[in-house]
Amino acid sequence: MGFQITGAAILLLFYGCYLIKMISQKKKGIKTDQIGIGKTGPVKFIELTMKAATYTVLIVEIASIIFNASFFPMPVRIIGTFVGIAGVAIFTASVLTMQDSWRAGVSKTEKTKLVTRGIYQISRNPAFLGFDLVYISILMMFFNWVLLTASIFAVVMLHLQIVNVEETFLIETFGADYLEYQKKVRRYLGIVPKPKAPL
């Protein structure tokens, strides 16, 4: 029962953060969910498939929590709890730091800022990292093969969204500023070390 409450709390906090941000932006006339809107070809396909993958994994996560089955021993499930807390914290920090530049999907019609401060100093994509950590967390606590398959599919689609949609959009929109930022901060986590000067 303890893991069920913990797992439910992690999902509630994670998706609650997303919904609160969406409602807050809606009051300001900002449409947060830009997934698939105004897109064509491969970009639209990736965004819509990513959206379907994230909804699917959420349904499987909820079912896994309800049935409370896991092949993993207690220590792994406990570690999963802390991974989930980290995922929620990282995701929340990314949403707060982005302020009104936050969007789900890319929008070529709405002007946003390139945010490189706060948590974005150590991760170019902390929101995606938060998603991945929450997926790993629930998987560690309630492992089953359906959940594993759904989680892997969602992680792959999130990665394709970053590589084939988000980064292309950011380079087109912010040009040299983003390319410079890309040289300093890793895609998921870490600062790129400066090359050593020749002796």
In whole angstroms, what is the distance from residue 158 CA to residue 45 CA?
13
Domains: count for the chain? 1
**Per the domain annotation, does 171 fall within a domain?**
yes
Residues 89-95 have a mean pLDDT of: 96
Residues 15-26 have a mean pLDDT of: 92
**Per the domain annotation, does 109 fall within a domain?**
no
DSSP conformation letters of 144-190: -HHHHHHHHHHHHHHHHHIIIIIHHHHHHHHTHHHHHHHHHB-SSS-
DSSP letter at 84 equals H
Q: What is the predicted pLDDT for the residue at 10?
A: 97
In whole angstroms, what is the distance from residue 155 CA to residue 35 CA?
16
**Per the domain annotation, does 84 fall within a domain?**
yes
CATH number at residue 176: 1.20.120.1630
Is pLDDT at 7 greater than 90 in this prediction?
yes
**Per the domain annotation, does 199 fall within a domain?**
no
Instruction: Among 109-113, 124-128, 189-193, name the most confident range.
Output: 124-128
**Per the domain annotation, does 67 fall within a domain?**
yes
Place of tokens 């070529």: 108
**Per the domain annotation, does 107 fall within a domain?**
no
pTM of the prediction?
0.92
**Per the domain annotation, does 194 fall within a domain?**
no
Is pLDDT at 121 greater than 90 in this prediction?
yes
Can you give the residue range of the structural domain that contains 11?
A: 2-21+32-101+114-184
